[in-house]
Chains A and B, each alone.
Chain A
Amino acid sequence: MQVHQQVSEYSDAIDLMVNMGPQHPSTHGVFRLVIWVDGERIVKVEPHIGYLHRGSEKICESEQYSQIVTLFDRLDYVGNLNNELAFCLAVEKLTETVVPERAEYIRVILCELNRIASHMLFYGVYGLDVGATTPMLYGFRERERVQELFESVTGARMMHNYIRIGGVKEDVPDDFDKNVLILLDHLKRGVDECDRLLSQNEMFLARTKGVGIITGEDALDYGVTGPALRASGVIEDVRVTDPYSIYSRFDFGIPVGSNGDCWDRYYVRVEEMRESIKIVEQAISDIPDGDISAKVRRIIRPPVGEVFVRTESPRGDLGVFLVSDGSDKPYRVKVRPPSFANLQALEYMLEDTYIADAVLVLGSIDIIMGEVDR
């Protein structure tokens, strides 16, 4: 019998190059992954991005400040409201605009609901990545409830253009409080149901436990943020460590994992939905009456200067860097997209895993290509 010698040098071992994508069904967007394999084992990966590059940052330079909000909707098209908020916060910081209380509360409620919707999408799609079809139906059912509320408030299911510089577009409908409470009731049961359905499933555990491990230190070095970083045991949430808007008023926890594997990244998001529900509950109980927008000029001309704002989007640390030259258009807008940095760590996570797990690890980072390519 011949024993096949284990070859340590990659150059000899590589016998197959597998091309995944662009548009592999489970790659979450137009993304291409080139994988070199030795048998079933991944030797090297090379991610290719840029298929969705629209030059959003450059387009921002030719639009007026109030027109840019719609462009931010289209970056992370699953967490739209969080993106709008990040840009509006940057402009408000530069122009020293004080946002009315009621608008702040509406923003927080909608952003947290958006986080739940985004994580529900992740939950459903991640089930599909593993090979379970049912979670997708439950995840999308819960997400749809949130989308319905968004439609009643903003008039759109996805591209809201609702959060404006200085406040929000218009006041919420009269039955908003009632609808949110009903929604929360549904969501609480929905999250528990989803949790029971997938989290402790034996096959799910076998596929995700101990796969795609990244340590907290390495994750930070790669610039990984958000749920993916917290799954590695680093306690970091911009809402708590560098609070913006009115997040410092609410009482909520930061779910943290311990192993940094796929299951932790998944479960941190499930727990995060529960924390978001807590925030919305507190916000809806003390939402005050009053104005919904500060008095801002129709054409905003911020003073010369630059500002960097960090926010916690569903995917991680979303930063907006704004340079103003005193005119009605920004001189430079730079978005620090969380998915872009998180995706860099894919090479590290996929090292020495099986090719069947590649899609699983990619799914656990929860990337949105609109944000990666901008």
Chain B
Amino acid sequence: MMQFQGYRRADGRVGTRNYVGVISSVVCANEVAEDIARQVDGAVSFTHHQGCCQTPLDLKRVNTVLIGLGSNPNLASVLLVSLGCESTAVQEVAAGIRACGKRVEIIGIQDCGGAARTRAEGTLIVQDLVSEACHIKAEPCPVSELVLGMKCGSSDTTQGLSATPAIGWLSDTLVEAGATTVLGEVTEFIGAEHIAARHAATPEVGAQILELVERMENRAKAVGCDMRGGQPTGGNIKGGLSTIEEKSLGAFAKAGTAPIQAVYEYGQKPTKKGLVVMDSPGREPEILTGLAAAGCTVIAFATGRGAPQGFPFVPVVKITGNARTWEKMRDHMDLSVAGVIDGSESLPQAGAKLLERVIEVASGARTRSELTGYTRAMDIYVLGPVI
């Protein structure tokens, strides 16, 4: 059985990192959350633009996503930073995270009497949390405990020929070993949904996939224009991708050949093992946040043109099949599978290389985005307006 060095948490889930999370409850508390995390080695902040002046449906989603993020096993404990007058249900979020057996502290800027006092008090709390977290040691864990998120971005036409099929190979191998793999980016099912539906483990799951895709396409169509330029993006088009259908067919190769066991809402934790689908858009901050909230502990990210984004507490492994991108964007790329394009490497060879890299990263090896500090791609995906 393949193993990695992970951090086992009270709820039985296993993390690949051991950070203390400083989570902002609302857009208005972001600066203070960032400042506190910066003061203590071993702490990371999560900030976003939601939590107030939104529809009740979106506010409920903010609560759920914050609970999911705080419960992610890559965090040992959490400090919630609140302003005090926001709509986020801060106590409910804290209780939701505590339910997984983690220590959660709350600090309020209006309660404390301003940013300076909150920073000072919050920093002392986080020092305490980090020194507690230091006692938790990584231990050998089977790869079946991994929850892999899958994503592609800054796409070009090499991707569907190399990097996304390599991720598909990785997903198949991990699923075979008993792990969970999560596919998002429903926008990039448009034009490939017939293939996605064929992957469904049951007819009900197939129908749910088609419904998700229809919902996403209708959202895009509701604005009354051709979505090309938005999806595929301007950069995709420069890279040679002509239509969303072409982008989708290349992106869907990430699914590999395993059956899709279930479909989940954005940020919802999968209860089934194996390959699952989560509703999410394609843009990096929102999908990376959704995958983290769902409990993904490592993310495999295919990129043709060179997407540099990472996430604060979930390592993101970048894979490119474009030899030029590997050369030019070297400080953002973790693995090249360009050999699949020039014919010097087979797909299983590339997949095995990727598996090895993902296990190293899950065991603590730093990704390029962690090394470069490019780890701030985060935000919560909401459906309604800011009001």
Q: A and B from one assembly? A: no
Which residues in B have some Cβ–Cβ distance to A below 8 Å? Answer: none
